[in-house]
Amino acid sequence: MKNFVMVLGLAFAFSFFGSACKFLDKGDEASARAKLEKFLKPGADYSSLTKELRPSKSDYEDLFDAETATKIQSVYDAEWDKEPPAIQPKPDQTELLLYSASVDDLKNGTGSSNEFPGGYAKVAPHMKAGHTWYRFKFVKSGEKLGMAYDGLTFVNHHWVIVPKPWRALKE
């Protein structure tokens, strides 16, 4: 019985601390880098790593104004449900390039916003302040071109990706 109680206690502790770990994530550039570098590890499960980045309804609502959140969610939920392509570097792409811009930077064309696709200028007015968005590339050593992705951001204590969000605004 004593061993059972100890095992049960350990299971609870691991469960509690495992779920609490997401609250330890600061959502900063170092955290983004650590999250994305998982894709570069040998044997990485690209599909699972990508699925972890799926936004929820509340994530969309916290990132965009109400009307835009609804539009983007309807477009992207359909894509996620169809098993979207996984984020995946090519085999010879072993390095990560990471760029960040605040919502204000994206709205005003300042900071590193020039590293983001031009469509962000269309969607930025619909973004809620207080979030930093990331664009990243998996590249060969010493190169600047490679597999490029955008739309990574930290919301509600976890990382999500909303790539090319302006595409959902087409009417």
* pLDDT single digits (tens) 88-126: 999 999 999 999 999 999 999 999 999 999 999 999 999
Does residue 1 surpass a pLDDT of 90? no
Question: Which is nearest to 72 in space by CA: 127, 13, 1, 133?
Answer: 127
Give the Cβ contact number of residue 36 at 10 Å: 22
Confidence at residue 5, expressed as pLDDT on a 0 to 100 scale: 39
Confidence at residue 7, expressed as pLDDT on a 0 to 100 scale: 37
d(CA 25, CA 114): 27
Query: pTM for this structure?
Result: 0.84
Q: What is the 8-class DSSP label of residue 143?
A: -
Query: Which two three-digit tokens encode residue 154?
Result: 């930290």
Site of tokens 């990574």: 152
The answer to which of 21-30, 64-73, 110-119 has the lowest mean pLDDT is 21-30
Confidence at residue 8, expressed as pLDDT on a 0 to 100 scale: 36
14 or 60, greater pLDDT: 60
Confidence at residue 128, expressed as pLDDT on a 0 to 100 scale: 98
d(CA 164, CA 117): 8
Confidence at residue 170, expressed as pLDDT on a 0 to 100 scale: 78
d(CA 117, CA 113): 8
Do the Cβ atoms of 133 and 101 come closer than 8 Å?
yes
Q: List the end-to-end C-alpha distance of the chain, in Å, as a whole number.
A: 64
pLDDT, tens digit (0-9, with 9 covering 90-100), for 117-169: 999 999 999 999 999 999 999 999 999 999 999 999 999 999 999 999 999 99
